[in-house]
Amino acid sequence: MLSEPNGNITSSVLNMTTPAPGGGGRGGGCPPVGIQLEGLILPPVLTIDVVLGLLGNIMALWIFCFKLKSWNPNNLFLFNLVIADFLALVSLPLRIDALLRGYWVFGDGLCRINLFLMFSNRSASIALMTVVAIYRYFKVVHPHHRFNRMTKRQAVFVSLFVWLLVMSPRVPMLAYNHIKGSGDKTQCFFFTSYKEALRAIIILVGMHRILTVLEFFIPMAMLLFCSIRISSFLRKRQMGKPDKVRKAMRVCIAIVAVFMVCFLPTTVTTIGLWVNRSYFPSDCATFYTFTQLTIVSLGLNFLNSALDPIVYVFSSSMFRKALCNSLPRALRCRQDAGNQENAVSSSGTQSTTQQELKSMTADKDSEDME
């Protein structure tokens, strides 16, 4: 959010809102809010995000790097999603430290990098999850489309394009000093009071608000379209096989659920603060309400890094099988255990090569349909 230049921690410590209504040279305005609530709520919430996110994503990274026997475009997109999550997770501990101390001690350079990584993670996570859903849509609804013949090399180029697309609007953030105050009053802010901000910062603030809204609603519309089309297609083609319908829908449902839980609250509060400042600048009660809601929503915004491993499990049968095989025998997936028993019972009649070929074929079919 924004902060008056008084050195206090306010709701601008992380990112997402707007200057106090009435600011920007119009005189007056609401006093800064959020000091106590921010310090109480965000440190434990962000700590939970970091702990859960690191556990899930370190496991995912280990499986992708050491356990996955083969790669396809879908797994490459998911691997990039792991990288996006790590960008957020490595930036949050600095924020937690600043909240607990009450001021920023890491200097201007780390401040710029920290803010850049935090903003880029949200955009990259949304974009990559949308790519995964679109890839699944073509696999199921248009199985003969040339999009499905994408090679791993082409998938790498698609991933690089996505990174370029989502990070380019955030690069100007690295060009400006966001440190305010000095000594034990130092804070690392992206937004500051319009009364003291450069015109370039004001433009970046407006760009951020636009991106926050567009990068939620456009991908959400695409996700809903893909989900509805997949469901409709499979119900017509697989009437006698409801299990396949459910498997194909799991990835879309998982991604939509992560979107709604993690990104919708921030989007709604950003729009609310935007409307409040534009049309009701003297309504401080509404401003305070949306400010508090924004503070809470920030914790949910970074929860996506902890929830994304669920997307990996639902999106890739190869990842799911590698995960099951990595667990202790007592905790292994029921289906995986059954497959092992079948493999043992049939070992007398099938060669090892035949079993591997059969397993690879089954994995490919499952990957196409889920």
pLDDT of residue 287: 79
Residue 134 has pLDDT above 80, yes or no: yes
Q: pTM for the complete prediction?
A: 0.75
Q: Which residue has the higher pLDDT, 57 or 23?
A: 57
Q: Which residue has the higher pLDDT, 177 or 80?
A: 80
Residue 164 has pLDDT above 90, yes or no: yes
pLDDT digits (tens, 9 = 90+) for 61-95: 888 888 887 788 988 999 999 998 888 888 899 98
Q: Which residue has the higher pLDDT, 274 or 20?
A: 274
pLDDT digits (tens, 9 = 90+) for 277-318: 778 877 888 877 887 787 778 788 888 888 888 878 777 777
> In this prediction, what percent of the chain has a pLDDT beyond 90?
10
Average pLDDT, the chain: 74
Q: What CA–CA distance (Å, rounded) separates 2 from 119?
A: 16
Among the ranges given (125-139, 169-183, 209-223, 252-266), the one the predictor scored with the smallest mean pLDDT: 169-183
- pLDDT band at residue 276, thresholds of 50, 70 and 90? confident
- pLDDT band at residue 27, thresholds of 50, 70 and 90? very low
Which of 18-22, 143-147, 307-311 is modeled with the greatest confidence? 143-147
- pLDDT band at residue 102, thresholds of 50, 70 and 90? confident
For 220, half-sphere exposure in the C-beta direction (CA atoms, 13 angstrom radius) is 15
pLDDT digits (tens, 9 = 90+) for 41-68: 888 989 999 999 998 888 888 888 888 8
Q: Which residue has the higher pLDDT, 198 or 135?
A: 135
**What does the longest C-alpha to C-alpha distance in the chain come to?**
85
pLDDT of residue 31: 58
Domains of the chain: 35-334 (1.20.1070.10)
